[in-house]
């Protein structure tokens, strides 16, 4: 008689298979792609991301709540009592304009509301130099066409430009950091940098012989900055050294490139000098439509008459920007 007590081989095999299946399921639930460990890690990441998002939203909400919408709020944002007026501000009464210009949000508010503030600021002899000399403000002014043009068309434009100069006097290869390049056309006793010295008693002497090829890019004077400058205006002073009537041609080029490639002509002017006016002075101003990154400035000028040698003085070239 067969003893039926105990485990048969088939039952044992089935048991092992079931255990293996259960083990596989357990492992998958624990360390698989959708396992407990991965889900826990993802939950941790989601928590961190949610916390970061919440913080960002709170910051944005804080920034929104601090948005300036009125003159009084601008004063409060700058730590100033609201008793002051716009006239007090542009006159820097009790130093309040200095505080406002030191606050980035207050500056953004002013510049975004030209209809309310531009007129008062551009007509203030106190405010205009402060706009030009405050580091937090000058770059924003240059990049704001409405404010820049408004100041340039005001009676205080000269004050603004004087303070905005980044090349106070272009006098040498080291001051104020740049290189002067003159290609032919200057007299031995006239150093090429004299066109950049701000002194109208000196100048770059350009000439050519009548019936010869007229001056070209080989008869230019160029200033090369050590690094690109954001320029919004270029000015020049020219002089007529001759005694007879003549036609003059004056051109200014700018380039953003270190090697002087991609020249852009920003002024091409021609006019007649009157006879007998030796040393007559002419001022040329080039206001760029939008500020541009400039690495080189090149001046080119000549005049022609009945003499065998024709000359012209470029007495000053100046750039304005930051």
Average pLDDT for 136-148: 88
* 209 pLDDT higher than 50: no
Let me know if residue 79 belongs to a domain.
Answer: yes
Residue 11, Cβ neighbours under 10 Å: how many? 10
In terms of domains, do 78 and 25 share one? Answer: no
CA-CA distance, 122 to 212, in Å (whole number)?
Answer: 50
At residue 210, φ and ψ (nearest 5 deg) are -60, 145
Identify the pLDDT of residue 79.
93
Beta strands 178-182; 280-304: pairing state: unpaired
Average pLDDT for 244-261: 80
In terms of domains, do 213 and 298 share one? Answer: yes
In terms of domains, do 159 and 214 share one? Answer: no
Mean pLDDT over the full length of the chain: 76
In terms of domains, do 123 and 208 share one? Answer: no
The residue assigned the tokens 């920034």 is 63
How does residue 195 score in pLDDT terms, banded at 50, 70 and 90? Answer: low
Let me know if residue 59 belongs to a domain.
Answer: no
Identify the pLDDT of residue 186.
45
Q: Quick one: what percent of the chain has pLDDT higher than 70?
A: 61
In terms of domains, do 75 and 209 share one? Answer: no
The last residue of one of the domains, among 124, 140, 164, is 164
* 176 pLDDT higher than 60: no
How does residue 199 score in pLDDT terms, banded at 50, 70 and 90? Answer: low
In terms of domains, do 238 and 192 share one? Answer: yes
CA-CA distance, 57 to 61, in Å (whole number)?
Answer: 6
In terms of domains, do 145 and 203 share one? Answer: no
Let me know if residue 111 belongs to a domain.
Answer: yes
In terms of domains, do 32 and 82 share one? Answer: no
Let me know if residue 132 belongs to a domain.
Answer: yes
- HEC string of 227-286 equals EEEEEEEEEEEEEECCCCCEEEEEEEEEECCCCCCCCEEEEEEEEEECCCCCCEEEEEEE
Q: Choose the weakest-confidence range: 6-20, 192-206, 232-246, 288-302.
A: 192-206
Nearest to 271 by CA among 252, 251, 255, 290: 251
Average pLDDT for 133-149: 88
Selection from 17-31, 65-79, 162-176, 189-203 with the highest mean pLDDT: 65-79
Q: Alpha-carbon Rg of the chain, whole angstroms?
A: 36
In terms of domains, do 151 and 264 share one? Answer: no
CA distances to 81, 105, 117, 138, 311 from 99, rounded to whole Å, are 12, 12, 16, 15, 53
Let me know if residue 225 belongs to a domain.
Answer: yes
Average pLDDT for 113-121: 96
CATH of the domain at 205: 2.60.120.260
Burial class of residue 170 in the structure, from the number of CB atoms within 10 Å of its CB (0-12 exposed, 13-18 middle, 19+ buried): buried
* 65 pLDDT higher than 90: no
The residue assigned the tokens 């919004």 is 232
In terms of domains, do 317 and 235 share one? Answer: yes
CA-CA distance, 139 to 150, in Å (whole number)?
Answer: 15
* 1 pLDDT higher than 50: no
Q: Quick one: what percent of the chain has pLDDT higher than 90?
A: 25
Let me know if residue 158 belongs to a domain.
Answer: yes
Average pLDDT for 31-43: 65
- Tens digit of each residue's pLDDT (9 = 90 or more) over 264-283: 999 888 777 776 666 678 88
How does residue 86 score in pLDDT terms, banded at 50, 70 and 90? Answer: very high
Selection from 14-18, 130-134, 205-209 with the highest mean pLDDT: 130-134
Q: Do 86 and 101 touch, CB atoms closer than 8 A?
A: no
Domain containing 120: what range? 71-164
Let me know if residue 171 belongs to a domain.
Answer: no
CA-CA distance, 109 to 70, in Å (whole number)?
Answer: 8
In terms of domains, do 126 and 39 share one? Answer: no
For residue 140, what is the DSSP state? H
Looking at the 3D structure of the chain, how many domains does it have? 3
* 160 pLDDT higher than 80: yes
Q: And the tokens for 235?
A: 């000015």
Let me know if residue 269 belongs to a domain.
Answer: yes
How does residue 241 score in pLDDT terms, banded at 50, 70 and 90? Answer: low
Identify the pLDDT of residue 308.
44
In terms of domains, do 150 and 183 share one? Answer: no
Identify the pLDDT of residue 211.
46
The residue assigned the tokens 């007879």 is 244
The last residue of one of the domains, among 97, 131, 164, is 164
Q: And the tokens for 292?
A: 């541009």
* 129 pLDDT higher than 90: yes
The last residue of one of the domains, among 109, 142, 164, is 164
Average pLDDT for 75-96: 95
* 261 pLDDT higher than 70: yes
């Amino acid at each position: 008689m067969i003893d039926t007590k105990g485990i048969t081989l088939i039952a044992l095999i089935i048991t092992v298979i079931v255990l293996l299946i259960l083990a596989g399921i357990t492992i998958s639930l624990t360390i698989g792609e959708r396992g407990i460990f991965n889900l826990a890690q993802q939950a941790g990441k989601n928590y961190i991301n949610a916390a970061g998002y919440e913080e960002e939203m709170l910051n944005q909400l804080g920034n929104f709540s601090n948005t300036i919408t009125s003159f009084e709020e601008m004063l409060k944002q700058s730590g100033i009592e609201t008793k002051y007026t716009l006239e007090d501000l542009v006159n820097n009464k009790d130093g309040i304009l200095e505080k406002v210009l030191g606050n980035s949000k207050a500056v953004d508010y002013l510049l975004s509301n030209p209809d309310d503030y531009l007129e008062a600021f551009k007509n203030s002899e106190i405010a205009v130099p402060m706009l030009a000399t405050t580091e937090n403000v000058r770059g924003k002014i240059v990049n704001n066409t409405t404010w820049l043009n408004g100041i340039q068309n005001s009676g205080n434009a000269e004050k603004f430009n004087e303070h905005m100069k980044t090349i106070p006097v272009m006098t040498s290869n080291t001051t104020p950091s740049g290189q002067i390049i003159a290609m032919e056309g200057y007299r031995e006793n006239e150093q090429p940098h004299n066109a950049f010295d701000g002194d109208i008693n000196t100048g770059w002497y350009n000439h050519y012989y009548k019936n010869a090829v007229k001056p070209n890019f080989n008869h230019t004077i160029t200033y090369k900055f050590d690094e690109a400058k954001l320029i919004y205006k270029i000015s020049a002073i020219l002089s007529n050294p001759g005694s007879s009537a003549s036609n003059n041609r004056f051109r200014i080029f700018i380039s953003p490139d270190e090697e002087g490639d991609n020249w852009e002509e920003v002024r091409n002017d021609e006019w007649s000098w009157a006879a007998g006016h030796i040393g007559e002075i002419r001022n040329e101003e080039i206001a760029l439509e939008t500020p541009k990154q400039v690495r080189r400035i090149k001046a080119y000028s000549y005049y022609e008459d009945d003499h065998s040698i024709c000359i012209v003085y470029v007495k000053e070239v100046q750039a304005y920007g930051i």
